[in-house]
Amino acid sequence: MQSLNLDENQFKNYDIEFETLSFPQLSAVKSEMESQLGILFDILKNKYGADMDTALLSGDGYPRNDIDVVSIRLIRVKVIRLRNDYKKVLELLEKKLVEQLGRSSTAQVENEIRVPETPPLIPFALVKEVAFESPAFNSGLEEGDKIILFDNDIHVRNHDKLASISRRVSNRIDQPIKVEILRNEQQQSLELTPTNNWNGRGVLGCRIIPL
C-alpha cells in the first residue's frame, strides 16, 4: 500500500491471533476496522472515481486507461482482507459474549463490557434485479444498491446469510420497512413496503444477494 501513499500505521495487516484477544480488545479492533473500511471506500470514490463493482477492463478485455486500475485493485484487495478479518472478529465477539453471559449475571456483564449499540455501516447485501413497478421499484430501490441496514436492526453482524431479511419481510406484508443503502458510496434511506398486491412474483420484486 506504500505505492498509494497510505499510512501503514492506519491501514495495517492484522497478522495476529484474534482468539487471544479479550472482549474489549476485540471491540476496539472492530471499531478500528470499521473506520479503515470507511476511509478506503472514500478513497476509492473520491480519489479514483470507483467502487468495489467498477469494471476495470474495457470492452475489448484490456485494462481501462481512464482510471488507475493498479491502485484500485490494491485497495480492493485491502478491503476484501479487512472484511474477512472483520467477520472473524464479529464471530469471536459474539462467542466471547455468550461465554461471559454464562459465567456472570446480565448486570455484571453490562458493568464490565460495553457492547456497541450502533450497527456498523458496512454493506452486506447487493440488489441485483428490480422488476418494473414492483414494490422495490416503487420504493426507489435500484440495481446495484448495497444494503447496510434493514428495518433498523438487520445488519452485517446478524443478517444470517439474508435469512433474517426473508423472515422479516414475511412478517411485515403491507407494512413499511426502512432500508438504509449505499448508492455510489452515498448513504440513502428508503421505505420499502412488501405486498402481494402487484402483478409480479414475490412480495418485493427484486433479487438480493449477500456480499
For residues 141 and 104, membership in a common domain is answered with: no
Model confidence, pTM: 0.49
Final residue of a structural domain among 64, 90, 112: 112
For residues 11 and 61, membership in a common domain is answered with: yes
For residues 159 and 200, membership in a common domain is answered with: yes
For residues 101 and 174, membership in a common domain is answered with: no
Domain of 167, in residue numbers: 125-210
Within a domain: residue 117?
no
Q: What angle do CA 71, 73, 79 make, to 5 degrees?
A: 105
For residues 96 and 143, membership in a common domain is answered with: no
Within a domain: residue 118?
no
Which grid coordinates are listed for 183?
448508492
Final residue of a structural domain among 60, 87, 112: 112
pLDDT tens series, the chain, 211 aa = 444 555 444 566 676 788 888 888 888 888 888 888 888 888 888 888 888 888 898 888 899 999 999 999 998 888 888 888 888 888 888 888 777 676 655 445 455 444 444 556 788 899 988 999 999 999 999 999 999 989 888 888 888 888 889 889 888 899 999 999 988 878 889 999 999 989 888 899 999 998 8
For residues 106 and 18, membership in a common domain is answered with: yes
